[in-house]
């Protein structure tokens, strides 16, 4: 009987773990803020970004977000269109993806410092990418589908393990 309890607990833990792994479809508000620091110790060194932002098409942003007034509507929707497919990588504080992406956005768009940080706020969660992710048909929507299905997958795996043991 104890063996059965152990396997049911493992199945429950697996379901909880898959729910925790499923990320929210938001770009964190902290990502929009300062990019870079005056001093950094070796323990705070970040890993290189796994996405090569250097050769991306920034016309998505530069064609819609134009000065001198930089209207929040077009600028923020363009930022979301460009950045939302990479929410997981941009929110990962162990890499330099956010800093790298904003460096290239500012390089190609010649935007004033902090433009997106000041204009593109949608609450405490940051930029809400759920509408964009639900409405696209690319790798981002595949990631969104995996997020939605992860509790189902965890349940199926948990029940399968429990049935195999029983």
Q: Give residue-wise pLDDT tens across range 97-134.
A: 999 999 999 999 999 988 998 888 887 778 888 877 76
Q: Is residue 93 part of a domain?
A: yes
Q: Is residue 40 part of a domain?
A: no
pLDDT tens per residue, range 15-30 = 544 444 444 565 555 5
Q: Report the chain's mean pLDDT, rounded to a whole number.
A: 73
Give 119: exposed, middle or buried? Use CB within 10 Å, 0-12, 13-18, 19+: middle
How much is the pLDDT for 114?
87
How much is the pLDDT for 141?
43
Q: Is residue 39 part of a domain?
A: no
Q: Is residue 106 part of a domain?
A: yes
Count up the domains in the chain and report the number: 1
Q: Is residue 138 part of a domain?
A: yes
Domain that holds residue 115: 2-34+45-165
**In terms of Cα–Cα distance, which of 77, 75, 50 is closest to 65?**
75
Give mean pLDDT, residues 65-88. 92
Binned at pLDDT 50, 70 and 90, residue 5 comes out as: low
Long-range contacts at 143-152 (CB < 8 A, ≥ 24 apart): 143/85, 143/88, 144/25, 146/22, 147/22, 147/23, 147/25, 148/22, 150/18, 150/19, 150/21, 150/22, 151/15, 151/18, 151/19, 151/22
Question: What pTM value is reported for the model?
Answer: 0.57
Q: Is residue 6 part of a domain?
A: yes
């Amino acid at each position: 009987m104890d063996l059965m309890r152990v396997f049911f607990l493992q199945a429950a833990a697996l379901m909880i773990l898959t729910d925790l792994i499923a990320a929210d479809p938001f770009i964190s508000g902290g990502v929009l803020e300062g990019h870079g620091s005056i001093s950094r110790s070796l323990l705070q060194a970040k890993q290189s970004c796994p996405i090569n932002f250097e050769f991306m098409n920034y016309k998505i942003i530069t064609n819609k977000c134009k000065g001198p007034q930089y209207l929040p509507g077009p600028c923020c929707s363009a930022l979301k269109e460009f950045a939302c497919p990479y929410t997981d990588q941009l929110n990962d504080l162990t890499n330099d993806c956010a800093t790298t992406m904003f460096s290239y956005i500012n390089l190609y768009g010649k935007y004033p410092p902090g433009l997106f940080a000041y204009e593109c706020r949608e609450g405490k969660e940051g930029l809400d990418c759920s509408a964009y992710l639900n409405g696209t048909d690319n790798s981002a929507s595949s990631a969104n589908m995996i997020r939605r299905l992860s509790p189902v997958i965890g349940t199926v795996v948990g029940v399968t393990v429990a049935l195999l043991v029983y």
